Amino acid sequence: MIIGSDFDGVIADDTNARIAYIKEKYGIIVGPDDIHGTALEKKIGEAAKKEIEIKVNCSERTMQFTPMPGVAEVFRRLIQEGDRIVIITYRTNVGVGWAKVFLEQHGIPYHHIWSAKEFRAEAARETQRLLEGKTIGLKKKGRLAEAVKPAVFVEDSNKHILDMLPLKDEIRLLLFDQPHNRDFHVEGVERVYSWAEVYEKIQELKGALIGV
């Protein structure tokens, strides 16, 4: 079984690094509720929000992040069970490079990591999708997930999980609980609060597939 996961906010906790950078660069103190999405835009503006995505989440500051509790253990257990771990992130390719360093430093095993931001649609693939009657409106992270075909995908971003929502009948979508997504409730998306719970959901799915 292929298990898909986002990186920032799911595998790696960027909270303290973002709070520190915002204080250092803009001289304001923010809490965990204010470091992502529209809440962050209201504090510092859209342009500054995009800058933080590059300066914090796609740089050496990645090494200031901390692993989410239990993620390494769950990945190791899943790999022992024969599953493949695929990370799909919206980082730049430079940011993916830093993510690889982080994963290695913290002993978090995985098979592949790809950037949805750098994803390029190929004409032949798009033509084939049309012939197969597949959804035209899938955004980049959805397109890459469609190509990889994970059975489960773990994401913390409202925007990116909506990109994958047309695939909800093919991929079990799990929203990793974070302050910035607590107002998000959409049919076809299940909220999870820890990697232990993610593991339980995966085992449920495996049991259901065995029973088919």
pLDDT value of residue 77: 98
pLDDT value of residue 64: 97
Q: Which two tokens stand for residue 110?
A: 């995985």
SS3 state of residue 90: coil
Contact (Cβ atoms closer than 8 angstroms) between residue 43 and residue 28: yes
Phi-psi region of 179 (alpha: psi -120 to 50; beta: other; left: phi over 0): alpha
125 Cβ contact list (under 8 Å, min separation 6): 147
pLDDT value of residue 84: 97
Q: Which of 175, 165, 124 is closest to 145 using CA atoms?
A: 165
> What order of strands is seen across the sheet that includes strand 152-155?
112-115, 84-89, 2-5, 152-155, 172-176, 189-192
Question: Residue written as tokens 């065995």?
Answer: 210
153 Cβ contact list (under 8 Å, min separation 6): 4, 5, 6, 88, 145, 164, 171, 172, 173, 174
**What's this model's pTM, rounded to 2 decimal places?**
0.89
Residues of the chain with CATH 3.40.50.1000: 2-13+65-211
Contact (Cβ atoms closer than 8 angstroms) between residue 60 and residue 93: no
pLDDT value of residue 120: 61
pLDDT value of residue 208: 83
pLDDT value of residue 62: 98
pLDDT value of residue 134: 59
Contact (Cβ atoms closer than 8 angstroms) between residue 52 and residue 59: no
Give per-residue pLDDT as tens, 145-165: 888 899 999 999 999 999 899
Low-confidence ranges of the chain (pLDDT < 50): 136-137
pLDDT value of residue 43: 84
- Domain 2-13+65-211 in this protein, CATH class: alpha beta
pLDDT value of residue 136: 47
Q: What is the C-alpha to C-alpha distance for residues 112 and 197, in angstroms, rounded to an integer? A: 23
